[in-house]
Amino acid sequence: MIVLSGTIGAGKTTLTTLLAERLNSPAYYESVDDNKILPLFYKDPKKYAFLLQIYFLNKRLDSIKEASTNKYSVMDRSIFEDSLLFHLNADLGRATETEVQIYDSLLKNMMEPSPGGKYQKTPDLLIYIDISFSTMLKRIKKRGRDYEQIDNDSSLYEYYRELNQRYATWYKNYDLSPKIKINGDKYDFVEDPNAREKVLKTLSDKVQEVLG
């Protein structure tokens, strides 16, 4: 089980598709376009932050269960990043202490080993796409989702800046599986075919090293 991680606009979905094709494996994607809660969250974060994270947690566990039945699988976000996002929202006053406690307890219970070891819940490899704040902003603007645009909500600038910083700390402290970092500024695998091939070669080698 291989999971991608990285902030908004890092290229997780693109790299998930590319790596899954290279490994001839299923790809599992975060539910965004059909997520009715996400636009509501951007309009009223205090009201919908907790509900949004519960939604993602549930969807993520469903994907983990399905992915664990395959020899190789690639997922475009780690379940552990949800905690990072929710704690940021809590620090910004968008969630209560009680909601944080409930969320953390639920995540811990959900990630306990399943009875009889029916399926694994932690990844075999975590891939972190590291991009600068400026690249993050450019990618968000380029993909054009109205509810993500700073032009429509100036408070998103600080939210994105803090999120980008916290991701770096989160990756540094992550220790639940082997991990590898890709410099998404230096290797623009989204636009540059040469960079794409270098990244895929690096990741294919890492997969073979970790998983055999």
- Summarised one tens digit per residue, pLDDT across range 147-182 is 889 998 888 999 999 999 999 999 999 999 999 999
Residue 169's domain spans which residues? 2-211
Reference 183, options 126, 127, 130; nearest CA is 130
CB 129 within 8 A of CB 168: no
pLDDT recorded at residue 143? 86
Tell me which of 33, 62, 76, 205 is the catalytic residue.
76
Q: Which residues contact 14 (CB under 8 A, 6 or more apart)?
A: 189, 190
Average confidence (pLDDT) over 112-123: 77
pLDDT band at 195 (very low <50, low <70, confident <90, very high): very high
Query: Is the pTM of the predicted complex or chain greater than 0.85?
Result: yes
% of the chain exceeding 70 in pLDDT: 98
Q: Is 151 a catalytic residue?
A: no
pLDDT recorded at residue 150? 92
52 has pLDDT over 90:
yes
To the nearest whole number, what is the mean pLDDT of the chain?
91
> Counting every residue, how long is the chain?
212
pLDDT recorded at residue 117? 67
CATH number for the domain harbouring residue 13: 3.40.50.300
pLDDT recorded at residue 104? 93
Q: Which residues contact 11 (CB under 8 A, 6 or more apart)?
A: 129, 131, 139, 184, 189, 190
Which helix (H) or strand (E) is 43 found in, with range? Answer: helix 37-43
Write the pLDDT tens digit of every residue in 77-115: 888 888 899 999 999 999 999 999 999 999 999 888 766
Binding-site positions: 6-14, 30, 42, 53, 77, 82, 139-143, 148
189 has pLDDT over 80:
yes
186 has pLDDT over 90:
yes
% of the chain exceeding 90 in pLDDT: 67
Total domains in the fold of the chain = 1
Average confidence (pLDDT) over 121-129: 94
